[in-house]
Structure 1
């Protein structure tokens, strides 16, 4: 490496840290980094698009980034052959053959080293929690324990989606280094599977209740093929624990029970899943059964990363593009990873061209919809990985997932939030101890008077605390949601209007009916959203007054999210003819089947409500810190010395939280 960089930079090389590591996964990005050398760096650094894309400001940072790329090649995170493919297109800029020769000779070492920042932070915080346990009052220990539980139970979700037979089971097996999900037991029908860690491996099969099944059946009636499939009466099954080898008996398309299966919980003893990672395997996302598709979409939204799988032999179809663009438009913060599976089925040169095509076509398609959210692209081969653990690009994908789960900005925000809450607890305890110490320094009479004052203050605080937490509990139980009767009433009005139009105008079209449906739906949702938002803010202001908190918190409401509901309805309406029946009640039933099973979580204000609950609880806890008050001044000097030491220790722990 040093010899290469010396050749590229000559006298401008300077002192560099050749052990510097930055996990880089994009071969195209790596190629752009490696184009720079002593002959062209000034020209490249003058290009704003170049420095912005690489996120650098000067040629020292550029050289440092080159070391990061070269170490990523060494660690098998990058493919030197694919970097060469991209460099060939930049040959007129590179003007140095050395880098080409170097890359042709490279083979990764598959070091698989990973710097888990979340794990480091968690271990550090647990050490601080243990020390605080010996220093804080019982009341504050409970609060600290609550934060510790939040840290320990923080989970990470990786969701898999894509067309059927894209190789999901093979890829999941490879990522987990396990063959627990084989051809003989992989869920075959449209079931959601959730894979978690457990010391005691088992599989739990959950079934629809009667209401859920009849809802799906009514939705299936919108599609002729599914309508035939669902010509079956509901049968009740209780959730059942089975062995993994028997899963196929419940999920095979040939099984009489598969139609009643709601989802599958697979618990296995797996090293990778030990880090509170859940694997979510969703069924197809072009499901005409609305509620099944909606459930899959909700799991995808909650995932830290989404892997959308496409076979290298059939990548980025029109169906793929439509779903991905619609999903990205409505979920701009999603970490989307496109994965071309079965890469061993095409030649290396064809694969590089395919990745280039997918990258550019998808990027251009997103721009057409004004979507600038970044996405990531990998090609993998589970077959190659099974034959040789250094091949197939699985290790690189696994490292990328780790990087974007444990070291992501969202994860850092989560741990920083806990740190701030712990610091507030420490500050309150220090303030309490300082008040007691100041009292202990008074003479006998003044001390007794001060102690009585502190006792009375503590009594009043405690009474107020009990009352305020009761009020807070009432507020926490408040729920917001779009009422089902609103949607049923809408369906009734619209069915009546469409029926009248049919009687009045014999040429009345499906498109005209669709326009009535869409406009009424938009008006209904927009009006209800504004009303519920008003109720939410009134409830929050009221609780703040009751518990005497002057809040400066700002809630973010984004009614543009309603567009996702409009898009979902539009897509469903495009799949069938609303006027296939001219009977008013039948039209109303069809609309009910659609409306009542779209997802309306935006009306629950889940994020805003969690923010409000967390803010109010934290604020109340910081207001009420009841500390033991010494009764007798005779041991004042000992208590003063003890408190002073505790204050010193708490101050050090608070400082440690900032390091």
Structure 2
């Protein structure tokens, strides 16, 4: 530490108490550490810099600045300030040219060299408050990330490490908030965020779906409906040129008030706010309300809710358990897939404690009754938490906030566990690869020149065998890809039989009615046609998915047996229903039913009717172009498998090339004196020890 301070302050470095520690956020810590003899005069003229020292009851003279730097360094060493976050903020200062590249490199090198408190003296997980477990573990994993970055990774591992870090850093937690009009959503959200953000004159009217995210400075974006969505809304006008525009928050009223023509094009509004609750990548979806008259906007609301990690439903305590509330809660409990559900009773100041208790009891009973009447277990109500708030006076707000924070980041949070598991998995993969690489280098250094050259010859032969094997593998891969080509789909005779099957069902009904001299039930005919096509189309897609899965499984087993370097590859599941909902055009049966009705009514000769109905159904199937959707499905099902095979071949080839390169380098340097070899061995052992320590820390998460 003393050496670092001397380096940045030169002759102006003062004698200080090097044991001092202080509490400061990571962004301010980065700014404090970046102050030096070179930029001191410029920094003390900045109001933001002076505010940091004012909050610490310190002056901006040389003594207090250097004292603050000592405090920050000690706090980082004792894990009171996150080293990874400080490094990230320093990088931002460098990008914005506030500090030079050399200054950034020097400070970063020093911070990374700091010895953190060892594992034995660290706070145990069970001693950490429940809501802090996730962030504690993320900080530990981030420390591991930066430690591994110091070990001069090869480009592939370095990229993989960065992707894991960015994925964890950018993981979002979504919270949807619903409620009927006058439930008090805006007031409650303002209290939750500690900001007067919603319900003000420059914020969108309640008809708009609003997405709230963290931002250092207040910001706003407007998302517009697409051309197709506008047509669904019944608006026969051109959509705005850009799908998304960024505007000043005070301009929002222009886009959201019904008085302005452009408001009808607005899909949703995205607001950025500097709120503490949003800092941990929490995004709030403020829905327009359950009683939204616009169907497409209601569908958008449902989509956000379905994808959210948690949902809050607000009810006015004095008007709770309305029919709309009950219907929504019942359906959510039956079909909702989010991580949790909370009912918040608002405006509790208008009721006594006894009345509030009665409201909760009545609401629970009403929901249980609704569930039982629909054939579902009334026990589903036990998964709902109830909170009571008076948002204006902040009664119950902190309790709700703490509950949500625990659900997002506590030890039982599935989303938090998934993020940590993925991060740990990637870090451990890199650790294993580095360990293998360094141990190989170490063993190579221990051999004589003759041994190294002999091993090099063996590896060259292995490399030649690998190249021959790779050529054979690529040939087999090419053959495998041909087997996974479903572009013609001639084997799928079931597509051709769809119209025949449904035609036979229709003709049988017509013949039966005619034979028994009964009036033909056209409603039944239409149900046969629409239900039949929907079911048979889904069956065709399932049949193709089953065929593709079997082909992939067979090829995977064959390649794994023939090429030992390639393990049997597992490919994830595929949701056919979800795929059809997203990719298959919505089938409109109106025209088909009209033409079928006309055909049956006008055709007097029943002998001609089957061929005419068959022709009508064949024409309908051709129009919706099932084959193109099947080809897309086959491509989506096989693309991941193909990529995994190609990456497997490339990874194995690169591993061997790296081994050969290492041995060649060591063979050429074998004439160097033993001291140099010993020093290199010692460096590698130190790296292995670092990896071992990092691995141990990761295992404790």
TM-score tier, shorter chain, comes to: 0.5 to 0.7
Q: Which piece of structure 1 moves more, 547-556 or 629-638?
A: 547-556
Counterpart in the other structure of 1:421: 426
Q: Provide the rounded CA distance (Å) in 2 between the counterparts of 1:428 and 1:131.
A: 15
- The alignment of Structure 1 onto Structure 2 pairs a total of residues equal to 493
Partner of 1:266: 271
In the alignment, which residue of structure 2 is the partner of 1:48?
A: none
Greater CA drift, 371-380 or 340-349: 371-380
Contact 2:137–2:420 (CA under 8 A) maintained in structure 1:
yes
Q: Which runs of 5+ in 1 are unaligned?
A: 1-112, 218-229, 481-485
Q: TM-score, normalised by structure 2?
A: 0.58
Query: Secondary structure at the residue paired with 1:550?
Result: coil
Note if contact 2:326-2:366 (Cα within 8 Å) is conserved in structure 1: no
Matched with 2:534 is: 521
Could you tell which deviates more after superposition, 180-189 or 393-402? 180-189
Q: Verify: 1:399 aligned to 2:402, yes or no.
A: yes
Counterpart residue number, 1:137: 153
1:647 to 671, 688, 700: 688
Partner of 1:164: 181
Match of 1:276 among 274, 281, 290: 281
Deviation, structure 1 residue 125: 1.0
Q: Distance in 2 between matches of 1:344 and 1:583?
A: 62
Q: Name which of 141, 150, 158 aligns with 1:125.
A: 141
Deviation at 1:271, TM superposition (A): 2.3
Using the TM superposition, name which of 640-649 and 458-467 deviates more. Answer: 458-467
SS at match of 1:264: strand
Change beyond 3 A, Cα 1:252–1:510: farther
Deviations 1:308-360 (A, max 9, x none): 22222333334334344334433445422222222233332121111122234
Higher relative contact order (CA 8 A, sep 6+): 1
The question of whether the paired residues in 2 share the 8 Å contact of 1:424 and 1:622 is answered with no
Matches of 2:398 and 2:433 in 1, distance apart?
Answer: 47
| 1:115 aligned onto 2:128 | no
Q: Give the superposition deviation at 1:458.
A: 7.6
Is 1:335 matched up with 2:351?
A: no
User: Which of 379, 390, 414 is the aligned partner of 2:387?
Assistant: 379
| Match for residue 535 of structure 1 among 548, 554, 566 | 548
RMSD between aligned residues? 5.0
Contact kept, 8 Å, 1:330 with 1:563, in 2: the verdict is no
- Structure 1 range deviating more: 232-241 or 332-341: 232-241
Q: Whose Rg is larger?
A: 2
Q: Distance in 2 between matches of 1:460 and 1:400?
A: 60
Superposition deviation, residue 465 in structure 1: 10
Residue 303 of structure 1 and its aligned partner are, at CA, apart by: 1.1
Shift of 1:305: 0.5
Aligned equivalents of 2:386, 2:548: Cα separation in 1: 46
**Contact kept? 1:479, 1:604, Cα under 8 Å:** no
Q: What is the Cα deviation at residue 636 of structure 1?
A: 3.0
The answer for the alignment partner of 1:174 in structure 2 is 191
Q: Residue deviations 1:417-441, cap 9 Å, x none?
A: 3212212221222122222322332
Q: Secondary structure at the match of 2:428?
A: helix
Q: TM-score, normalised by structure 1?
A: 0.62
Alignment partner of 1:292 is 2:309: no
Paired with 1:356 and 1:196, the residues of 2 have a C-alpha distance of: 35
Match of 1:657 in 2: 698
Match of 1:369 in 2: 376
CA distance 1:621–1:212, shift in 2 (3 Å): same
Structure 2: gaps (5+ residues):
1-128, 487-494, 599-615
Say yes or no: does 1:211 pair with 2:228.
yes
Instruction: Give the CA deviation at 1:263.
Output: 1.7
Query: Residue 255 of structure 2: which of 250, 257, 273 is its match?
Result: 250
Are the counterparts in 1 of residues 213 and 271 from structure 2 also a CA contact under 8 Å? yes
Partners of 2:323 and 2:399 in 1: CA distance: 28
**Cα shift readout 1:231-288 (whole Å, capped 9, x = no counterpart):** x644545443333233233223343222211221112222221211111123345667
The 3 A distance-change label for structure 1 pair 258 and 523 is farther
Of 280-289 and 401-410, more deviation after overlay is shown by 280-289
SS in 2 for 1:283: coil
